[in-house]
Structure 1
Amino acid sequence: MENNKPENVEEINLSEVLQVRRDKLKNLQESGNDPYKISKYNVTHHSDEIKNNFEALEGKQVCVAGRIMSKRIMGKASFMHLQDQNGRIQVYVKRDDVGVDDYKLFKTYDMGDIVGIEGFVFKTKTEEVSIHAEKIVLLSKSLQVLPEKYHGLKDIDLRYRQRYVDLIVNPEVKEAFLTRTKALKALRNYLDNLGFLEVETPILNTIAGGANARPFITHHNTLDIPMYLRIANELYLKRLIVGGFDKVYEMGRMFRNEGMDMKHNPEYTAIELYQAYADYKDMMEITENVISHMAEVATGSMKVNYQGTEIDFTPPWKRMTMEECVLEHTGVDFSKIDTDEDALAIAREKGIEITPGMRRGEVINAFFEEFGEDKLIQPTFITHHPVEVSPLAKRNVEDPRRTDRFEAFANKWELANAFSELNDPIDQRGRFEDQERKRKLGDDEAFEMDEDFLNALEVGLPPTGGLGIGIDRVIMLLTNSPSIRDVLLFPTMKPIGKKDEENQDL
């Protein structure tokens, strides 16, 4: 006999299940049991609190609320597992205790439904801490079907798009974000204890400054001007140092209209801090101390395992100049290469891409990015970047071609960027003019001239150390997360239906 079973039978079956849930809701509403009319439920305890304090709570009345994650009907008595924000706990539901009518309703409840339970704490014969229900109320009807418990939500793309489901069915995901919260609290506490003041600066800017990056552009209708989502908050924070705040920091979202991959998202979290009368060496000390503190508070250790490799954040971290790193990994000694022409010649010899207007300092940086960066597994400070790639950093006194700057690396990633801030307004204007030259040569990530910032420098910026840390990358390491999307609750996703060949491996 020919099989006429339709190819989309699973979709049909799912549609039937969803319709059954809607029919159940309709019946509840028609019988006067509409869950959506309940506005409040008095929760007195959470699952972990009950399990961790059984001796004190045994026999005591508790009220809990959460989702039904499993249910086993056994005639006149049933068991279910309730999941709240802190975990799961077993609930024993007996018809004679909750009442015939409520028990009949309970038997119709589905996985994912949100219920309130009132009862007393006890242990079952198998020694599992549980709640003996005396009252049960449906607080919200789940009209969708949660992923099957043994397979969970495995589709990576769907997990990111439906993070609310991901958090329900994959407990380790929630743990990663709890670790993130612990780490950020530790970061703030550390800086607060050092006397830093947390501030807020504009997200909408009239000039995209503070970093070499491509901005998101929008338009302000009333002013009839283009505006930019900030790519960095550096220039505003330094204005506050000019204004007399000696220690400031801001943690928040930055926005860069660039590519997406496992460690880049168009909006991401960063912290920048500035301290008057300090230099890049002070920032180096803060960097290694605060990141190691975050690791210890959030994970219990300054050593973390990331994808099979142990990363040891214990201070002090290794230090080497950019030129020393290039020499170690290529044999090219830029201390003996003084001209742009000689630098470009060795770049061509080593296969480095030559860009318009490229100079010696940019060649050194390109060598580092090509041959040195991917060797930095353990936390390492790379110092004294060329002035050509450091438009806001103070020149080094011994070698004015260098700056008093560092980048912190771990697991081959840049985690932090810092320097002794350039406070010479004449030099800063020249750096901005050089950035404008790059823009004219086609570099749309180069800085724009910021006259108000130059005016602030002319008012007077004291010697200042500044530091920026990429929060999401640090959290990736602390939570052993392979992608930045694993540490952002709602990462940027291409709308469903649009082909995404470029980012298919994210």
Structure 2
Amino acid sequence: MSDERQVAMENELNLNEQMMQRIEKLKTLQEEGRDPFDVYKVNVDFDSKQIKDNFEEFEGKEVTLAGRLMSKRGQGKVVFADILDKSDRIQLFVKIDNVGEDKLNDFKSFNIGDFVWVKGEVFKTKMGEVSVKVREFELISKSIRPLPEKFHGLKDPDLRYRHREVDMIMNPGVREKIAKRSAIISGIRSFLTDRGFMEVETPTLSPIAGGAAARPFITHHNSLNIDMYLRIATELYLKRCIVAGFDKVFEIGKNFRNEGIDQTHNPEFTCIELYEAFADYNDMMEIAENMVAYVCEKVNGTTKVMYKGNEIDFAPPWNRVTMADAVKDACGVDFMAMTSDEEAREVAKKHNVEMKKDLSLCTRGELLNTFFEEFAEEKLIQPTFILDYPVEVSPLTKKKRGNEMLTERFEGFVCGKELCNAYSELNDPIVQRERFQQQAKERELGDDEAYMLDEEFMHALEVGMPPTGGLGIGIDRLIMFLTESYSIRDVIIFPTMKPVNK
């Protein structure tokens, strides 16, 4: 047996022994009529952070608190302890003179991880630590499973993400990121509602997986006896809201894509998509850069963050570079000077560029996009809008004014990663149907991420949609940048994990 396996078995045996000891304590309490699980409610006046941040206001006053017992020190007539509530940790001072001998012994018997309610007076110790001089307390819930060892904590990445609740108990920085995530999403909502946008909710289950190029999750509806898809984007339903006459709409919600998991991808992720009638992609650029700067300053106090050793400044205006110029700057290839698809293919051969399909079937626009992803994308460190994507990779976008090969589409990049995507939305139903039909051919050639034809959406477009600008932002990635997190799992409260038995 390996040493690691031996240690794991010993740890498991030790854990089982500790759990049995805790269960025996619980049984004793229950036999004495003091079952902590019979407590349904306690009154809590304040939280730890309120008291610590406003000590002068609370000094000498009686408060009631409740939280998880995180540490105990002292075995004589005085016990010091820390409890953790929703906001912070605070020290408890439990003295025999204040609670009596029997109650002090009760407190000493509590386990780390138990929940306790306390009432006492706020004061500051000789060491200057804000504390509560406990006069009353009650055990209000029992922890059967011990928390990780105090000094080593929960460090194994798989265990941290799998048992996220323990990760957040033991690692305050994780709790802070999740709290900041809430503040970022709240900031996005306030920014948009202040600009007159209306929040809507669209279906998560749909008979068509539309609005993006991605592989969907498929399920089956028994009553209707049809296959349905978890949405890969909210785009098509939101555009139908624009058709309905709502000029400014947005949705913050989950999308699902049956694809790989890595540092910047999770199968279930959160996006904000917004659409504004009578606007174009220039308006979307203005919204994107100002919204990100707004929420960054709201949660961090500045528009600047550090990310992977780079100081990133989200203050507007962001850099604006066409895709063709970005490629030319990165590798010297000028796609705008080319006159044919064949010329582009020859250049691709020289650069050993790999394509998803046979090179002989690739167009100049498809190769331009591939060259950008291969040579230019990773060099975009400061917030940058890459403008004017090829028609072939932008089936829902209007053609660029003055250039039939390109579209009025941009993507925003930070530190070499895509943050947002936006269009001057295609509203010509005849051209849109042609684009969908071309995508259908791509699917036949083996591209299972090509767009599906959505007849319900086409019906809406045929009713008539005004000129419209649309924008989508990956909220998880935005939170990664604003909290200096290098894995998307660090900013998702419960990331997707393979079951232990698999």
Q: SS at the partner of 2:94?
A: strand
Aligned residue identity for 1:419: Y
Residue of structure 2 equivalent to 1:398: 402
Distance in 1 separating the partners of 2:434 and 2:10: 69
Q: SS at the partner of 1:489?
A: coil
Residue of structure 1 equivalent to 2:385: 381
Aligned length: 493
Moved more, 74-83 or 459-468: 74-83
Cα pair 2:197 2:248 within 8 Å, conserved: yes
Unaligned runs of at least 5 residues, structure 2: 1-5
Aligned residue identity for 1:31: E
Residue of structure 2 equivalent to 1:267: 268
Moved more, 113-122 or 338-347: 338-347
Q: Residues 54-107 of structure 1, C-alpha deviation per residue, up to 9 Å, x if partnerless?
A: 222122111000011110133122110111111111111112322332222111
Residue of structure 2 equivalent to 1:215: 216
1:17 Cα offset (Å): 1.5
Moved more, 99-108 or 343-352: 99-108
Q: What's the TM-score, normalizing by structure 1?
A: 0.96
1:359 Cα offset (Å): 1.2
Residue of structure 2 equivalent to 1:452: 456
Distance in 2 separating the partners of 1:123 and 1:176: 29
1:385 Cα offset (Å): 0.3
Distance in 2 separating the partners of 1:48 and 1:448: 52
Task: Say if 2:199 is the partner of 1:195.
Answer: no
Cα pair 1:275 1:465 within 8 Å, conserved: yes
Q: SS at the partner of 1:231?
A: coil
Distance in 2 separating the partners of 1:385 and 1:103: 71
Task: Say if 2:319 is the partner of 1:318.
Answer: yes
Cα pair 1:180 1:298 within 8 Å, conserved: no
Task: Say if 2:86 is the partner of 1:75.
Answer: no
Q: Residues 350-388 of structure 1, C-alpha deviation per residue, up to 9 Å, x if partnerless?
A: 111132332111011001000010110110000000000
Aligned residue identity for 1:183: I
Change (3 A) 1:132 1:407: same
Q: SS at the partner of 2:134?
A: strand
Task: Say if 2:279 is the partner of 1:278.
Answer: yes
Aligned residue identity for 2:390: P
Unaligned runs of at least 5 residues, structure 1: 1-5, 499-506
Cα pair 1:179 1:299 within 8 Å, conserved: no
Distance in 1 separating the partners of 2:54 and 2:320: 49
Query: For 1:372, which of 365, 369, 376 is the aligned residue?
Result: 376
Q: What's the TM-score, normalizing by structure 2?
A: 0.97
Equivalent positions of 1:479-494 (< 5 A) are 479-494=483-498
Equivalent positions of 1:21-420 (< 5 A) are 21-354=22-355, 355-356=357-358, 357-420=361-424
Distance in 1 separating the partners of 2:394 and 2:11: 58
Equivalent positions of 1:420-499 (< 5 A) are 420-498=424-502
Q: Residues 274-322 of structure 1, C-alpha deviation per residue, up to 9 Å, x if partnerless?
A: 0000000000000110011111111111110012211111110111111
Q: Residues 328-353 of structure 1, C-alpha deviation per residue, up to 9 Å, x if partnerless?
A: 11111111212221111111111111
1:11 Cα offset (Å): 3.0
Q: SS at the partner of 1:335?
A: helix
Distance in 2 separating the partners of 1:300 and 1:384: 33
Moved more, 142-151 or 239-248: 142-151
Runs of 4+ in 1 over 4 A off after TM superposition: none
Aligned residue identity for 1:332: V
Q: Residues 122-159 of structure 1, C-alpha deviation per residue, up to 9 Å, x if partnerless?
A: 12222211111111100111111111222211111101
Cα pair 1:72 1:79 within 8 Å, conserved: yes
Q: SS at the partner of 1:465?
A: strand
1:443 Cα offset (Å): 0.6
Q: Percent identity?
A: 56
Aligned residue identity for 1:51: K
Cα pair 2:75 2:108 within 8 Å, conserved: no
Cα pair 2:323 2:387 within 8 Å, conserved: yes
Distance in 2 separating the partners of 1:9 and 1:264: 36
Cα pair 1:48 1:87 within 8 Å, conserved: yes
Q: SS at the partner of 1:402?
A: strand
Q: SS at the partner of 1:374?
A: helix
Moved more, 254-263 or 126-135: 126-135
Q: SS at the partner of 2:404?
A: coil
Distance in 1 separating the partners of 2:84 and 2:457: 53
Q: SS at the partner of 1:117?
A: strand
Residue of structure 1 equivalent to 2:3: none
Distance in 2 separating the partners of 1:399 and 1:365: 16
Distance in 2 separating the partners of 1:299 and 1:70: 31
Distance in 2 separating the partners of 1:103 and 1:296: 48
Aligned residue identity for 1:423: N
Aligned residue identity for 2:373: E
Distance in 2 separating the partners of 1:61 and 1:242: 59
1:467 Cα offset (Å): 0.3
Cα pair 2:278 2:466 within 8 Å, conserved: yes
Cα pair 1:182 1:298 within 8 Å, conserved: yes
1:256 Cα offset (Å): 0.2
Q: SS at the partner of 1:184?
A: helix
Moved more, 176-185 or 247-256: 176-185
